C-alpha cells in the first residue's frame, strides 16, 4: 500500500506524559559520548542554573519517536516501517530537557511528498512540560518505494 | 568546563577534527538508551540480509556524537539551542569497530544575542555521513 497522503496536515492529541529520569539522561549521555557533568551530577547542573541534570541536545528524539508511533504504526498511514530510513532531523530547544520533566508531545504531519518513487514524510512534535514549550523536534523519514510503488 | 564567550569567538574559528570510535557495544548502548532496537544496528546477519554491507550506526547516534562535540566546544550541553542535520550516508560498523571524525567551523556570531552558528563536518572512512549539520549555540 502506498503512503497515504490524506494524513498531511493531521494533528494528534497530546501523548504522554513521558517521565524523564536522571538514569535515562545518564544512559543517553554516555551512549553519545558526552562526559559533561551537567548530565550526571545534580549539584553541577544546579550550579549551572538548571533544576536538575539535563539531557544532551538530541535526547528529545527518544520522546518524539514515541509520539510518532501512533501515526507511523497506524495501518491507514500506509507506512511500511521496514522500508523507512531517517532522512533529516532538527531540534529547536526552548530549554534543556531536565530530569523530573513530565513531557507531553503534540504531533503534526507537516508534509508528505513523493520523489523518485520514494515518499518523504516530515513530522513535527511540540514537546511541552507544565504547559511551557521545551523542544520542537522535526523529523523527515524516507519510505523507500517498493516493487509495487 | 568553562562557557565560551561570544567576544572570544569569530567566524572562521574551528575545532577538531576529533576522532570518535564507534564499536558494536556503542550501538547496543545507544539502542538501549534511545529505545531504537532496529536490528540493522546490532545484528550483522540481519543487516546483510536486507542489503546493507554490515551493521550500521543509528543516524541519531552519529548526530548525538556531533552534539556532544559541539556542546564540549561551547562549554555546556545546555548551550545547543538549535541543531539539525541530514543523514547522507550510513556509518558502517564492522566487528572491529569504526571511527567517526567530527569537526566544526563557526559560520557567524551574533554579538547581540551571543549566539554562534556552527557548521559541522562529520565523516567516516573519508566520506561525509551528515549533510548540512548545523548547530546554533548560546555563548556567554
pLDDT tier at A147, thresholds 50, 70, 90: low
Q: What is the pLDDT of residue B50?
A: 87
Q: What is the mean pLDDT of residues A31-59?
A: 97
Question: CA–CA separation, A77 vs A71, rounded Å?
Answer: 7
Length of chain B: 140
Q: What is the pLDDT of residue A146?
A: 66
Q: Does B11 touch chain A (CB under 8 A)?
A: no
pLDDT tens by residue, B44-80:
999 999 889 999 999 999 999 999 999 999 999 999 9
Question: CA–CA separation, B59 vs B80, rounded Å?
Answer: 19
What DSSP letter does each residue of A56-89 carry, written as one string?
A: -TTTHHHHHHHHHHHHHT-GGG---GGGEEEEEE
Q: Does B134 touch chain A (CB under 8 A)?
A: no
Phi, psi of A30, deg, nearest 5: -65, -40
Q: Cβ of B83 and A91 within 8 Å?
A: yes
Quick check: A148 pLDDT over 50? no
What the block records as the C-alpha cell of A32 is: 553519545
* CATH code 3.40.50.700 for A5-143: no
Quick check: A13 pLDDT over 50? yes
Q: Cβ of B72 and A32 within 8 Å?
A: no
Question: Is the complex ipTM more than 0.95?
Answer: yes
Q: Does A48 touch chain B (CB under 8 A)?
A: yes
Quick check: A133 pLDDT over 50? yes
Element at A44 (helix H, strand E):
helix A42-47
Q: What is the mean pLDDT of residues B19-26?
A: 98
Smallest Cβ–Cβ distance between A34 and the set B30, B71, B85 belongs to B71
Q: What is the mean pLDDT of chain B?
A: 97
CA A24 to chain B, closest CA, distance in angstroms equals 7
Q: Does some domain include residue B57?
A: yes
- Decide if A16 contacts A135 (C-beta within 8 A): no
Q: Does A80 touch chain B (CB under 8 A)?
A: no
User: In terms of C-beta density within 10 A (0-12 exposed, 13-18 middle, 19 or more buried), how is residue B66 classed?
Assistant: buried
Q: What is the pTM of this model?
A: 0.96
Q: Tell me which of B18, B30, B31, B33 to substitute to probe the interface with A (most A C-beta atoms closer than 10 Å).
A: B33
Q: Cβ of B77 and A61 within 8 Å?
A: no
What is the tally of structural domains in chain B?
1
User: What is the residue extent of each domain of chain A?
Assistant: 5-143
Q: How far is CA B103 from the centre of its chain?
A: 9
Chain A, nearest residue to B60 by Cα: A58
- Helical segments of A76-146, H only: none
Q: Does A24 touch chain B (CB under 8 A)?
A: yes
Question: CA–CA separation, B31 vs B42, rounded Å?
Answer: 9
Quick check: A145 pLDDT over 90? no
- Helical segments of chain B, H only: 24-34, 44-49, 59-74
Quick check: B1 pLDDT over 70? no
Q: Does A89 touch chain B (CB under 8 A)?
A: yes
Residues 92-121 of A with CB under 8 A from B: 92-93, 96
Q: What is the mean pLDDT of residues B92-101?
A: 98
Quick check: A149 pLDDT over 90? no
Quick check: A82 pLDDT over 90? no
Q: Does B62 touch chain A (CB under 8 A)?
A: no
Taking the CA atoms of A141, A79, B27 and A32 in sequence, report the sign of the dihedral they define: positive
Q: What is the mean pLDDT of residues A68-86?
A: 91
Question: CA–CA separation, B118 vs B105, rounded Å?
Answer: 6
Range of the domain at B103: 14-138
Helix (H, G, I), strand (E, B) or coil at A53: coil
What the block records as the C-alpha cell of A53 is: 541534570
CA angle B80, B81, B82 (to 5 degrees): 100
Closest CA to A94 of A127, A60, A55, A133: A133
Closest CA to A105 of A76, A62, A53: A62
Q: Does A137 touch chain B (CB under 8 A)?
A: no
- Specify the residue for cell string 559541539: B70
User: Could you give the percent of chain B with pLDDT greater than 70?
Assistant: 99
Q: Does A31 touch chain B (CB under 8 A)?
A: yes
Quick check: A103 pLDDT over 90? yes
CA distances from A28 to A19, A31, A146, B99, B138 (A): 15, 5, 34, 20, 22
pLDDT tier at B2, thresholds 50, 70, 90: confident
Q: Tell me which of A24, A26, A33 to substitute to probe the interface with B (most B C-beta atoms closer than 10 Å).
A: A33
Q: What is the pLDDT of residue A83?
A: 85
What the block records as the C-alpha cell of A83 is: 522500508
A132-143 vs A118-129, strand pairing mode: antiparallel
Give the number of beta-carbon pairs within 8 Å between A and B: 110
CATH of the domain at B45: 3.10.129.10
pLDDT tens by residue, B108-121:
999 999 999 999 99
State the DSSP code for B96: T
What the block records as the C-alpha cell of B89 is: 550516508
Q: Does some domain include residue B91?
A: yes
Q: Does A147 touch chain B (CB under 8 A)?
A: no
Amino acid at each position: 500500500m502506498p503512503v497515504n497522503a490524506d494524513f498531511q496536515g493531521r494533528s494528534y492529541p497530546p501523548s504522554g506524559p513521558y517521565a524523564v529520569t536522571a538514569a535515562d539522561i545518564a544512559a543517553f549521555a554516555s551512549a553519545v559520548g558526552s562526559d559533561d557533568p551537567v548530565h550526571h551530577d545534580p549539584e553541577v547542573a544546579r550550579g549551572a542554573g538548571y533544576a536538575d541534570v539535563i539531557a544532551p541536545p538530541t535526547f528529545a528524539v527518544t520522546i518524539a519517536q514515541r509520539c510518532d508511533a501512533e501515526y507511523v504504526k497506524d495501518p491507514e498511514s500506509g507506512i511500511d516501517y521496514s522500508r523507512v530510513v531517517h532522512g533529516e532531523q532538527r531540534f529547536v530547544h526552548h530549554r534543556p530537557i531536565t530530569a523530573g520533566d513530565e513531557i507531553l508531545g503534540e504531533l503534526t504531519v507537516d508534509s508528505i511528498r513523493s520523489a523518485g518513487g520514494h515518499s518523504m514524510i516530515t513530522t513535527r512534535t511540540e514537546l511541552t512540560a507544565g504547559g511551557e514549550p521545551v523542544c520542537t523536534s522535526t523529523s523527515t523519514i524516507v519510505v523507500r518505494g517498493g516493487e509495487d510503488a | 568546563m568553562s562557557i565560551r564567550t561570544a567576544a572570544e569567538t569569530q567566524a572562521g574559528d574551528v575545532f577538531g577534527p576529533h576522532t570518535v570510535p564507534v564499536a558494536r557495544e556503542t550501538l547496543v548502548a545507544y539502542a538501549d538508551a534511545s529505545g531504537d532496537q532496529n536490528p540493522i544496528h546490532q545484528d550483522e546477519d540481519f543487516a546483510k540480509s536486507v542489503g546493507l554491507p554490515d551493521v550500521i550506526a543509528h543516524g541519531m547516534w552519529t548526530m548525538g556524537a556531533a552534539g556532544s562535540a559541539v556542546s564540549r566546544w561551547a562549554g555546556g550541553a545546555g548551550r545547543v539551542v538549535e541543531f539539525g542535520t541530514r543523514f547522507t550516508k550510513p556509518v558502517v560498523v564492522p566487528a572491529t569497530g569504526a571511527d567517526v571524525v567530527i569537526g566544526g567551523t563557526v559560520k557567524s556570531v551574533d554579538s547581540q544575542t551571543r549566539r554562534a552558528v556552527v557548521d559541522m563536518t562529520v565523516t567516516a572512512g573519508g566520506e561525509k555521513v551528515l549533510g548540512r549539520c548545523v548547530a546554533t549555540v548560546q555563548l556567554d
